[in-house]
Amino acid sequence: MTDTMEWSTLKDFPESMVTQALAMHLGDKGKESAEEMEWLFGLLAETPKGTYQLRQLCEFDWNPSEVEGGPEESFKDADRGNIPVDEFKKVYLTFTPDFRYRTKKPGKHLIIEAKGTPKPIGQRDRIQAERYFSFFHASGYNGAVVYFAPNPKLWLAWLQDIARDSPVPYGVVDLKVAIVSKVASELVRVVGKTLVQTADLLDTALRFSGTK
């Protein structure tokens, strides 16, 4: 792939593939690449107030001695903050963003959600986003909500409608330009693994159907 490739002409990758590839690119939990984590926190997000790096939005930077988290990082009891126990268990416990980082000294979180569709899909996406913002409001923590998505302007307008007058910083990073192009090698591995799994399932289905 060349630097001049028009990413808008490419077929969208399912978000699960992109998040798997990004997790591989950043490194295993506890063994993250310092260089790639620096890249992640330095990504530029479009916001209602202009373009900002992720580290500027969440107001903390990657430092393994002070920050923890990673891909598929669900909310746990330690993240409850000011949220009543019963409400936290019902609404937030085990709720899992694609990536979540937090300062070890409780106070700040960075929630990252990846989306592979060109626009939000119905109530599912809305409820998910509303829950991210309500977590900050109810817990008393600071931080930011960031989406990795194609068509950043459309997704940002949608987030503005959800956030309304929320003081929580939020923004959108261009999934195709900033992420897919960076993790292309890992995507090849993820897609290859998926093809192998699909071939195995097809073989099993053929055996059950009696056509093999």
- Phi, psi of 201, rounded to the nearest 5 degrees: -65, -40
The pLDDT value given to residue 5: 38
Mean pLDDT of the 59-71 span: 95
The pLDDT value given to residue 7: 37
The pLDDT value given to residue 41: 98
The pLDDT value given to residue 8: 37
Range with the poorest average pLDDT among 32-41, 72-81, 139-148? 72-81
Cβ atoms 42, 54 nearer than 8 A: yes
The pLDDT value given to residue 185: 87
The pLDDT value given to residue 3: 39
Range with the poorest average pLDDT among 74-78, 126-130, 184-188, 191-195? 191-195
**Amino acid occupying residue 135:** F
- Phi, psi of 112, rounded to the nearest 5 degrees: -120, 125
Q: For residue 194, is pLDDT > 80?
A: no
DSSP states of 104-166 as a string? SSSSEEEEEEE--SSS--HHHHHHHHHHHHHHHHHH--EEEEEEEESSHHHHHHHHHHHHTT-
Q: What is the pLDDT of residues 109-131, one digit of tens each?
A: 999 999 988 899 889 899 999 99
The pLDDT value given to residue 132: 97
Q: For residue 1, is pLDDT > 60?
A: no
The pLDDT value given to residue 11: 47
CA atoms within 13 A of residue 77's CA, in its CB half-sphere:
2
- Sort strands 50-53 and 44-47 into parallel, antiparallel or unpaired: antiparallel
Mean pLDDT of the 47-51 span: 97
Confidence class of residue 152 from pLDDT cuts 50, 70 and 90? very high
Distance of CA 123 to the CA centre of its chain: 18
Cβ atoms 41, 59 nearer than 8 A: no
| Per-position b or e across 156-180, b if 16+ CB within 10 A of its CB | bebbeebbeeeebbbbbbbbbebbb
Q: For residue 204, is pLDDT > 90?
A: no
